[in-house]
Structure formats: structure tokens, C-alpha cells
Amino acid sequence: MKWYQMKEQAAGTKRLMVSLFIYKLFGKKVVQLIALCVSFFAFCFSKQIRAFTKKNLSVIFEYTHNEKAKPTFFNQYKNTANYALSLVDRMESFLRKFDVQKIDFDDEPLKNVLIEKMSASKGMIFICSHIGNIEVLRICVSNPKISVNPHIDIFLSEEQCKIFNSFLKKIETKTNLTTYPVQNIGIDTAIELKDKIENGDVAFIAGDRLSPGSSVVTFCADFLNKKVNFPAGSFKLAQLMECDIYFISALKEKNDRYKIYISPFVPDDRLSKSENLHKMQTDYIAFLEKLVNIAPLQFYHFYDLFE
């Protein structure tokens, strides 16, 4: 089963709005406690979630030998609970309430390079993943206290998480943001995006999930010693932009802190265009494997990735 074939398991818009009310009235800790309770019942009563978390952790543990990834019942639930808590952070990020002082960078010199490039209106593409919390990363890039607040373009699926994404749109404060449905990417989209990046835009696109509109446009790679299909379109689009490309992720640490990991893609001038595209895909897979080893319980793929 592909991720886009799964039915969304959300609490419903009204209950989400109640969560927002509780957040404003009692604070984040109370909402986090509610999220932990909800995730526990979802985990207990969803055979699908238990099966996929167990399989995914088994693959990760076999590859990394990381004790944190042992597919125990507790770790399976913790993986689910971490995702629920990340949704609370997403809500807080969209409200512009997340404390950016709780965001660190694994590579401070590279962070400074990015800020300098954004200050010079040099556009770039971030190829992200569903390991960690991409929304915290987006808010970090668009926060004037950290960067120069460039216009942001995000490619996402319209078909999945409709309820939660609709809720986020309702609560989001005014921001410099444009979203594009991945199902409708075409020549016109690529031309528009190229113009925007040339004017200093920063684009986010996931490189680890197939979209329902292009599930046949894939490349197969060895990921965690398993054959996995990845979306080729994300990397082709990035290459077409002829701009700086970075692999990036925000992993949660203790006390609600996050650390941002960045890896620049460096094309090889000796290689052809197609060979550099393959290099980009290979480098991205290596980046994902590094992230999985650091935070195996933030691997948010609750479906059969390793078919």
C-alpha cells in the first residue's frame, strides 16, 4: 500500500479547533498530553500502524544496529507518539508561536552561508524528507530573527492530510508563502518556479514520497539495504532550476528543541547532466540514512515503504 492510498486518520476540524482553544487557554504542555493520549489509542486500535511501525523499525535496526530502533512495542508506540507531538509543533509553527531560540544548526558556518545567500536574494531549493519536522524548518527560514524572510514555495500533496492541512491554513498567520500541489507540476510550473528562484525565492520539495499523479516516474535505490522507489520528478525539477540545492531536515531533540541538518549537493563538472542527476539521488539517499541513524523514531512513514 502506497502512502497516498491510506485514509487520513485525523481528529476532525472541530476537535482540532478545540485543541487550538486549549492551547491558547492552558498552553502547549496540556495539548501535548492530549496528543500522547490520542496517539496511544490510535496505536492500540490500528493494526495497520502497529504493523508498519514494526516493519520499518525492524529494517532500520537491521541496517543501523541502533538500540533506539529496536522494534519493541514501546518503540513502535514512541514512533507514533513522536509524530503526534510533531503535529503540535506544526500547529505552533503556523501560529508563529514556536520559539526560534530552540532551533540549532548542526553546521553553524553553513547556516551563515545560507543567510548570506538569502540576503543577496540568491534563490535555492531544499529537498526535504518525512524524517523530522519540516514545518519547523520552514518557519526557521522565514523568520526575520534568523534569516531575511525570503518568499517560500512549497510543493505538497493536496490529496493527503486534507483535514489537518485545512486546519493549519485556517490558523496560519500572514506569511510570505505559496503552495503548489505536486499532482499538477508541469512545464508552466517549472517556468514560474525558475523565475521566482532567480528573484530569490526558496523552494521546499520532498524527495522521499511518490505523488499519486507521478507514481510511475520513479527511480529505485538501495535504502537501508532495501530496494525502495523514490520520486524522480523532485530531483529533475531541482536540477532544472540551475540553482543551489540542499538536502535538509529538522530533527527534534530534548526539551522541545530542534536541530537542523543540511547537506549541500555539489555537482561534478566532469559528469554529464544525467550522471549528476544520479549523483544527486545517491547523495540524498546517503543523507536520509544518516538522519535515520540519528533519529530512528522520527521516521514518519506509516505505510509499507519497503514493499
| Residue 304 placed within a domain | no
Check: CB of residue 151 under 8 Å from CB of residue 201. yes
Q: Are 123 and 200 in contact (CB under 8 A)?
A: yes
pLDDT value of residue 109: 93
Print pLDDT tens along the chain (307 aa). 443 344 444 455 677 777 788 888 888 899 999 999 999 998 999 898 999 999 999 999 999 999 999 999 999 999 999 999 998 998 887 777 888 888 899 999 998 898 889 888 899 999 999 899 887 877 777 665 555 678 888 887 655 555 545 655 555 555 677 777 777 777 888 899 999 999 999 999 989 887 665 555 889 999 999 999 998 989 999 999 999 999 999 999 998 899 999 999 999 999 999 999 999 999 999 999 999 999 999 999 887 888 6
pTM recorded for the entire structure:
0.88
Grid cell locating 23: 492551547
User: What's the structural domain count of the chain?
Assistant: 1
Segment 260-279, tens digit of pLDDT: 999 999 999 999 999 999 99
* Domain coverage including residue 61: 3-298
Positions of E strands within the chain? 103-105, 124-128, 152-156, 177-181, 202-206, 218-223, 226-231, 244-252, 258-264
Q: Per the domain annotation, does 303 fall within a domain? A: no
Does any domain span residue 306? no
221 Cβ partners below 8 Å, 6+ apart? 227, 228, 230, 281, 282, 285
- The CA-based angle 206-59-62, given to 5 degrees, is 130
Q: Is 116 exposed, middle or buried (0-12, 13-18, 19+ CB in 10 A)?
A: exposed
Span 27-59, pLDDT tens digits? 889 999 999 999 999 899 989 899 999 999 999
